[in-house]
Structure formats: C-alpha cells, structure tokens
Amino acid sequence: MTVLSDCDRAHIETALAGRIVRCVGMGDGVNAALSGLILADGRRMVAKRALSNRAARLDLEAAMLRTLAVHAPALPIPRVHIGTVDLLVMDWMPGGEGLTTAAEEHLAELLVGLHAVQADTYGLGWDTVIGPLVQANPPTLDWLVFFRDHRLLPMAELVVREGRLPVSLRRRIDQLAARLPSWLEAASPPSLIHGDLWSGNIISKNGRVTGVIDPAIYYADPEMELAFGTLFGTFGDAFFRRYHEHRPIQPGFFEVRRDLYTLYPLLVHVHLFGGAYVVAVQRIVDRYVG
C-alpha cells in the first residue's frame, strides 16, 4: 500500500496550516493511492497520490470537483485544498452506509438539479479524465456526433491498439456507429453530468448522499448518466421513480438507448480489466447489428 512521503506531508501541512497527527492508508486504486489524514485541530482530509507508474492528472480531477462545486452547489462535493498533477487533497466526507432506498431518492433529486445545469454545446471546452484516461471534450453542437466521435469510436480504437479488443469486433462497432441515427435521432439539451457514477463514487449516511467523488464531467445528454448508473446496479427502482417524477425519462431509454450508452464505460473497463467486459461489449453489439 502506498503511503505519503515526507515531502508530501510537508506540502500538505504548509497548505493546510496544520500538523498531520495521523495518516492511514486507504488502499491503492487504478492510478492513485488514498490516505486518510487527521490534523491536530481535528480536521479530516483525504489525500490522493498518483502511483509512480501512472499519469493520474489529479489536477484535472481537482478542476472537475471545483467546477461541480460552482455549478451545482447542492451536490455534496468535497472541497479541494491541493490539486496538482500528482497530489489531490480534499475534505473527508462522512459515510459508511450503502445506497438505501432513501439515499437513492436523495441521489435522484441531486442529479435532477445537476442535469438542470445546461450549456449551448456538448463537451466542455477542456479535457477531463475518467479513471486514468483522458476524455476529449471539444464543444460540439450535435450529440450523436459527440457520442460517436469523442466517446464510442476513440475508446474502441484505443482498446484495439492495446490488443484488448478483437479487430473483428471493432469493425462491428463501426457498423453500429454508422446506424446510430436510427436510435439517437432526438437528444436532450446539453446537461452537466458527473460522468462516472457508481456505488464506489457515492458516499451516503442516514439515508442521505453525503459525498460525490471521482467525477468525469462534461455536458451530455443526461441519459448517458442514467445508463451508466444501471451498468453495475447502482441506480435502482427508487432512484428512477424519483428522477422521473422531477425530470421525465423519455420513452425508449430502457428499451433501446441505455445499452448503447453503456458501451462507452464498458470499453473503458475493457481498457482497465479486459476479460468479461469484452463479452459484455460483444453482447450489446450483437443485439444492435446482429
């Protein structure tokens, strides 16, 4: 387990104007290690340190957290104190409870508010990250073009180059991409999304969401967020009922568009883990292109 260096500790203590009295390793992730910090004055922080063999771009993560804090102040985002390329220090968020029915309903209300933040174009104007991967976010007027050319096809190309996805399957993804207008003819206006919402990035306690972390933000059709939330069973019936009450989900999402939108995060997981995620991609492509 990676721990903070003396240099990191000195940097943090200077920035926070406080002495670290306890530092506990919280485990190594895909591209960074987490440490829990307690300061002499009782403040609690989380430090995220890039692993030596990964370019984590924690400065981009910090920028995304700060953007969410400004544009969606109701969302419980940890305050960022340090945000450099390889070190991120932010407030600790109290949690320890899974997503109960009440917490799912609260999350739905929070996301309705987030998705009400809109822009003139899809994308963002600056690149963000999802895990260790950079996401290109050029401002784009057409959602289908953005999803196809800046999410689906670039990620498919990356995992093919890495040898993690068969070339034959990549060709069939190209066929699916050519037919996207058949399924994505009408999109919602560009809405700000978290971009990587699964249970590990949602902190809750006493039936309330107390923290949302590890964003991968951009302006998208909000169905992209909803689809991602079904991929690992994060969003359940309680979430979708409450979300639909405040922001109606358009017909065809569950039947048609959801699986299409999950292709992007599945391909990200092919890059990270390979294996069963290739089978999941294959299954979806088979459904749409036969």
Residues 188-247 have pLDDT tens digits of: 999 999 999 999 999 999 999 999 999 999 999 999 999 999 999 999 999 999 999 999
Angle, CA 165 vertex, CA 164 and CA 170 arms, to 5°? 155
Residues contacting 114, CB < 8 A, separation 6+: 68, 72, 75, 191, 192, 193, 194
pLDDT, tens digit, for every residue of 16-44? 999 999 998 887 777 788 999 999 999 99
Q: Where in the chain is the domain with CATH 3.90.1200.10?
A: 101-289
**Structure tokens, 107:** 């999350």
Q: What is the pLDDT of residue 4?
A: 75
Give me the CATH code for the 6-91 domain, please.
3.30.200.20
Question: Which of 8, 196, 214, 259 does the annotation list as catalytic?
Answer: 196
State pTM to two decimals: 0.95
The CATH class, in words, for 101-289 is alpha beta
Q: Where in the chain is the domain with CATH 3.30.200.20?
A: 6-91
Amino acid at 231: L
b/e string for 232-242 if b means 16 or more Cβ within 10 A?
A: eebbeebbbeb
Told to judge if 196 belongs to the known catalytic residues of this protein, a careful annotator would answer yes
Q: What is the pLDDT of residue 1?
A: 47
User: What percent of the chain is modeled with pLDDT above 70?
Assistant: 97
pLDDT band at 55 (very low <50, low <70, confident <90, very high): low
